[in-house]
Amino acid sequence: MGRRVRPLLALAVVGVVTLVAVPNAGASPTNPIYQQKSAQYVIGGVATGADRNRIGGTGAAIDAVEDGRATVTATPDEARRIAGLGYRVTRAETEGFPAADAGYHDYAEMMAELDKAAKAYPKIMRKLSLGKSYEGRDMPLIKISDNVTVDENEPEILYDAHQHAREHITVEMALYLVRLFTEGYNKDPRITSLVNGREIWIVPDMNPDGGEYDIAGGRYHNWRKNRQPVSGGAFRGIDLNRNWGYQWGCCDGSSPVSSSETYRGPEAFAAPEIQHLRDFVLSRRIGGVQQIRAAIDFHSYSELVLWPFGFTMRPTAPGLGADQQQTFAAIGGQMAKSNGYTPEQSSSLYITDGSIIDWLWATQGVWAFTLEMYPNSPGKGGFYPSASVIAAQTARNKDASLLLADYADCPYRAIAKQRQYCYRG
Ligand code: 0X9
Ligand code: CA
Ligand code: CA
Ligand code: CA
Ligand code: ZN
């Protein structure tokens, strides 16, 4: 498949030229300042490399230097120390998305929209909490179903978005699904029957800290990972989609180096955001039976439908036999037909170890897909497509999303083996 553009990681790393990574001198992993909440500050009077080193020496992360001003991410103590060195320190205004992209939802706007929907559709929608991100942001968990307060015996499906900070269009996708299932209920018969016959879980924002950091100061920072300090505070961020605990770090599909874009973390499930989704999924295992049958993990960009495994190029592996592989390929192919994406096993893109879909499938038997959304080339905006495409590019995945929800009762229907696998007895 070499003809295809492979925008994903390779192109991602060249983005911010002004970025200066300053390793943190006297940082200690037990230093209590790392327990404090970080924020962005603007530092005035930053002219020379010596200025940057002095500022970096406090432990603050220098995000960018422009026109004599540095934007840093710092704890309150670090900010005080920078001020103590004689620099002018102000809190960076949180301006949300750049004005031209105001159509995207920042964290506060996302929360407001979810609260509004939960209030408007209390019979079929609940807004719960998955847990808190590293910096303490609430991670919403949405349930949509008839009799929503009751755990009914209905196939469950999970949609999660935004493991990667700069992939903001995936949050829009999750919000689209919330609107689709709520506003379409008792209007569109297909939606009505899915809301009645399934329990739908939506996690719109797996990486709220990274997402807010990526737009801090009204500029994009080309950020991918979460924001927890690693290597004793020298760097920040674990790649959440390399931190899952199945074949973690096995196969050169992630990096052991903490400054890397694909840093897998010091151990599997080191990121609190990933722990929370893992614990939720495990909590859906009832009487030894995982209730979640299917999942879509939304990413951008490349316009792909991907299925397990990512850790090996082999189409089958222990736990993924020929029938399962064919079922993945059949459903993936149908989804791709509906949205015009390219369907393939996830490793045909590149090997990834510690990804969510490998864990969901191998340890929970969840039919898990990754969708890489719009665009399919860096020329169309890469990770930052114009807000004007949101409506079309989220609606484009309506059928793929509904199709998988529909299959959740018995995915083997896709290869006509439902008798063999689903209705024995
Ligand atoms: O590298 C990733 O995590 C995904 N691409 S992205 O540019 N959005 O970062 C692809 C993941 C595909 N592989 C698996 N899901 N295993
Ligand atoms: Ca907005
Ligand atoms: Ca129900
Ligand atoms: Ca249930
Ligand atoms: Zn991604």
CATH of 107-421, one of 3.40.630.10, 3.90.1150.110, 1.10.3720.10, 1.20.120.160: 3.40.630.10
Does the CB atom of residue 20 touch ligand 1 within 6 A?
Answer: no
Residue 65 is predicted with a pLDDT of 82
Residue 32 is predicted with a pLDDT of 42
> What is the C-alpha to C-alpha distance for residues 144 and 158, in angstroms, rounded to an integer?
11
pLDDT at 425 over 70: no
SS3 label, residue 295: strand
**Structure confidence by residue, pLDDT tens digits, 189-199:** 999 999 999 99
Does the CB atom of residue 346 touch ligand 1 within 6 A?
Answer: yes
Pairing of strands 156-161, 292-300: parallel
Does the CB atom of residue 352 touch ligand 1 within 6 A?
Answer: yes
Residue 8 is predicted with a pLDDT of 59
Q: Tell me which residues have their CB within 5 A of the ion that is ligand 4.
A: 151, 199, 291
Does the CB atom of residue 24 touch ligand 1 within 6 A?
Answer: no
Rounded mean pLDDT of the chain?
A: 91
Which ligand is the nearest neighbour of the Cα of 292?
4
Catalytic positions: 372
Distance 352 CA to ligand 1 centre (A): 7
> What is the C-alpha to C-alpha distance for residues 101 and 117, in angstroms, rounded to an integer?
23
pLDDT at 416 over 60: yes
The architecture CATH gives domain 16-92: 2-Layer Sandwich (3.30)
Distance 153 CA to ligand 3 centre (A): 8
By mean pLDDT, which of 24-28, 134-138, 172-176, 405-409 is the weakest? 24-28
Distance 234 CA to ligand 4 centre (A): 43
- Average pLDDT, integer, range 265-290: 98
The domain ranges of the chain are 16-92, 107-421
User: Which residues touch 12 (CB under 8 Å, ≥6 apart)?
Assistant: 166, 222, 224, 261, 382, 383
- Average pLDDT, integer, range 329-353: 97
Does the CB atom of residue 207 touch ligand 1 within 6 A?
Answer: no
Q: Give the closest residue (by CA) to ligand 1 atom 16.
A: 310
Is the separation of the CB atoms in 143 and 199 below 8 Å?
Answer: yes
